[in-house]
Amino acid sequence: MKNILITGGSGLIGKNITQLLESEGHAVAWLSRNPKKYAQKSFSWDIEKKSIDHAAIEWADGIIHLAGEGVAEKRWTPDRKIAILESRTHSTSLLHEAIQHASKKPEFFISASAVGFYGFDTEDKLVDENTKPGTDFLAQVVIAWENEVKKIADLGLRTVLLRIGIVLDKDGGALKEMMKPPIAAPLGSGNQWMSWIAIDDLVRMFSFAVNEKKLSGSYNAVGPHPATNAELTKAAAKHAGKTYIGLGVPGFGLKLILGEMAMMVLGGNKVSSKKIQEAGFEFTYPKLDGAMKEIYG
């Protein structure tokens, strides 16, 4: 049994990871700005004030770092871009400093990252962990984020970076937004790749990273069978009981509404899961139809 400290624990992914780890016998605590708000054991931190309860680090055998402003929640104004970047880099830097000065250091550090590392649109090329990073805004955010995590690795902790793709869950994230309209339709051409992962598999992957001591470095947290936007939308509509039409939402309209953020949905990545599978991880939902059937019951 391990004591595992989670940042961003109250979010959709964090809550699911907490539940699984506790079912495995681990003790879980969250880092929170409002630790008294939750029934979950919690320690305090404040990223803006650069403060953290150092007892949290002393308590933890390992840390799972999920904290960061949502990239799709608001239009990307200059201030919003700064918040997206600094919520990730500053939080990681604060953890680095706390670990550096701790008399008892955690054994491992597992951080969320994103397939945005590879750029908005890698077209039909299958990318893996050795592919060069992109040059757009999100790629630069992920590069800066991962660079801060690597400083923690330099302290001697076993460090894992999970580059997360599109997480499929009906209660949150991209799938919930895609199924909001009364009629489901692809975005833009619909031919752009979406490297997806069922939330149950993602949560199990974090557990795998906790329990497999041989795991370190970067891994793509995506399923083995990427789908196009049209394929994913059609499969979701089928299992959600919605009408699907193949006429895509015009890209120019999305750009007018979303601005630069539209590139997140008009571009895409075809990302390989080979490395994590070769490390021994087995997907419960490798195929899109099976994942959607489970999600929508």
Domain contains 184? no
Domain contains 292? no
Domain contains 293? no
Domain tally, the chain: 1
Domain contains 297? no
Q: What is the pLDDT of residue 72?
A: 85
Which of 169, 173, 184 minimizes the C-alpha distance to 238? 184
Q: What is the pLDDT of residue 113?
A: 98
Domain contains 189? no
Q: What is the pLDDT of residue 292?
A: 97
Domain contains 134? yes
Domain contains 227? no
CATH of the domain at 38: 3.40.50.720
Domain contains 103? yes
Q: What is the pLDDT of residue 173?
A: 86
Range of the domain at 151: 3-167+196-222+269-283
Mean pLDDT by 10 residues, the chain (297 residues): 96 96 98 92 96 97 96 90 97 98 97 96 96 96 98 98 96 88 92 96 98 97 97 96 90 76 84 98 97 95
pTM over 0.85: yes
Strands 158-164 and 217-221, sheet pairing: parallel
